[in-house]
Amino acid sequence: MSEKCSMAVLGVGQRGYAYVSMLKNHPQVELAALCDTSAERVNCFAAELGCSHVPCFYSVDELLAKGKFDAVIITTPDFTHKECAVKCFEAGKHVMLEKPMAPTVAESREIIAAAQRSKKMLQIGFVLRCHPVFKGVKKELESGTIGELLSINCSESLRVMHGASYMRRWHRKSGNSGGFLLAKCSHDLDLMSDFTGSLPVKVASFGGVNFFTPDKQKAPVCSKCPDQECRFRFKGEMVRMTPEEKAAPAEKSFDLCVFNADKDVVDNQQVLLEYANGVRGTFSLNLFAPVPKREWRLVGTLGYIDADTAKKEYTVTFSDGREGFTRHCEADNTSAHDGSDMIFLNEFVDNILSGKAPEADAFAGLSSTVIGNAADRARLTGSVVDISLEEYK
């Protein structure tokens, strides 16, 4: 087993930047290449991160033709995942592909086929599987603390400016990401399946735009808007920009109005799910929180678990008179998602070096896309959508 692997990062934007900053001093990784279709961005961010010595490339084809590395982290927008991942597998690379795997089931299947042909590893960026609170909850479920799981009620609340950023960035078009639910909450859909140990066979959903509706008082872009006091005026939130982009954000449409942009995503959504093993669940997406948090309740035959990522703890309450308990889960704030990002990256490195199969595998990625697409179909048609277990294969 070799001690180190060499790695490339493909797509050095918001997420790629975070990976480069974790990789640049990683003891088991040689950061061997960076690639972004924007030369300005990749050159600027490489310098900012002290990685100017790392070779930079400006297309996936150039990266694969000239770069020398074993594995690649793909952090490009969702609508490019299939093309990037398939090419990387064809070039014989191990791949960590950001979530969601792809906007559509058909694209996800093409990625899986390419991974299988190449016999290389595919890990999907479901970092929440490494979250200290959810790791604790999973242990409780596995050790039978609350008996047999009956239902699972989950919510994700986004910080308001984070949610608003989805109204102006590339995610604002469902075609680019598979919709808000899949783009943002494929993590949650994945973890719900992992916790239930099953997959949904029926999905219903309601959702829409209640707040970010068109507003005639505002301009199409913040830089030309008369409403100077608007709390959503673009100030650079949730986008990594070069100095040139910061000086003229309107030139690349960074400052689209969150109300008036041409968008088709929801700003709130509720999902109801029935799993093949009889567990039932709900998921609620909310965009208007002061701090981000996931609040989950898992109900079993002996009691329930309440998990809260903002408090970084979970509480077990028993229904049979026993005294419950709260576990505070220490989080390491040196990487995002309460330290999950670094744990997840270390798992990827370990999987490459040891040949172990990833937990967040290709079929976890496919499943999330199947569920996300089905929920949006249910929302748009106002019907309950049946999912055959064959669709997850």
Ligand X SMILES: NC(=O)c1ccc[n+]([C@@H]2O[C@H](COP(=O)([O-])OP(=O)(O)OC[C@H]3O[C@@H](n4cnc5c(N)ncnc54)[C@H](O)[C@@H]3O)[C@@H](O)[C@H]2O)c1
Site for ligand X, rule CB under 6 A: 10-16, 35-38, 41, 60, 75-78, 80, 84, 98-99, 125, 127, 183, 240
> Considering the complex, what minimum distance in angstroms separates the CB of residue 125 from ligand X?
4
> Considering the complex, what minimum distance in angstroms separates the CB of residue 292 from ligand X?
11
> Which residues share a beta bridge with 269?
207, 285
- Tell me whether residue 15 or residue 294 sits nearer to ligand X (CB atom): 15
Alpha-carbon gap, residue 80 to 312, rounded angstroms: 34
> Considering the complex, what minimum distance in angstroms separates the CB of residue 319 from ligand X?
34
- Tell me whether residue 94 or residue 240 sits nearer to ligand X (CB atom): 240
> Considering the complex, what minimum distance in angstroms separates the CB of residue 148 from ligand X?
31
- Tell me whether residue 75 or residue 260 sits nearer to ligand X (CB atom): 75
Alpha-carbon gap, residue 17 to 20, rounded angstroms: 5
Residue number closest to ligand X, CB atom: 13
> Considering the complex, what minimum distance in angstroms separates the CB of residue 76 from ligand X?
4
Tokens 């799910």 — which residue? 273
> Considering the complex, what minimum distance in angstroms separates the CB of residue 130 from ligand X?
11
CA 351 vs CA 95, 116, 361, 363, 387: distances in Å: 11, 16, 11, 17, 32
- Residue 184: name the closest of 372, 13, 376 by CA: 372
Task: Phi first, then psi: give them for residue 263, nearest 5 degrees.
Answer: -140, 160
- Tell me whether residue 78 or residue 274 sits nearer to ligand X (CB atom): 78
- Tell me whether residue 23 or residue 35 sits nearer to ligand X (CB atom): 35
> Considering the complex, what minimum distance in angstroms separates the CB of residue 38 from ligand X?
4
- Tell me whether residue 79 or residue 304 sits nearer to ligand X (CB atom): 79
- Tell me whether residue 63 or residue 204 sits nearer to ligand X (CB atom): 63
- Tell me whether residue 174 or residue 198 sits nearer to ligand X (CB atom): 174
Residue type for 204, please? A
Task: Phi first, then psi: give them for residue 72, nearest 5 degrees.
Answer: -135, 140
> Considering the complex, what minimum distance in angstroms separates the CB of residue 342 from ligand X?
13
> Considering the complex, what minimum distance in angstroms separates the CB of residue 329 from ligand X?
18
Long-range contacts of residues 77-82, Cβ cutoff 8 Å, at least 24 apart: 77/11, 77/170, 77/176, 77/177, 78/102, 78/103, 78/171, 78/176, 78/177, 78/178, 78/183, 79/103, 79/170, 79/175, 79/176, 79/177, 80/11, 81/107, 81/111, 82/107, 82/108, 82/110, 82/111
Angle of CA points 27, 29, 33, to nearest 5°: 140
- Residue 180: name the closest of 377, 393, 376 by CA: 376
- Tell me whether residue 11 or residue 300 sits nearer to ligand X (CB atom): 11
- Tell me whether residue 60 or residue 385 sits nearer to ligand X (CB atom): 60
Decide: 152 and 389 in contact? Cβ < 8 Å: no
> Considering the complex, what minimum distance in angstroms separates the CB of residue 118 from ligand X?
19
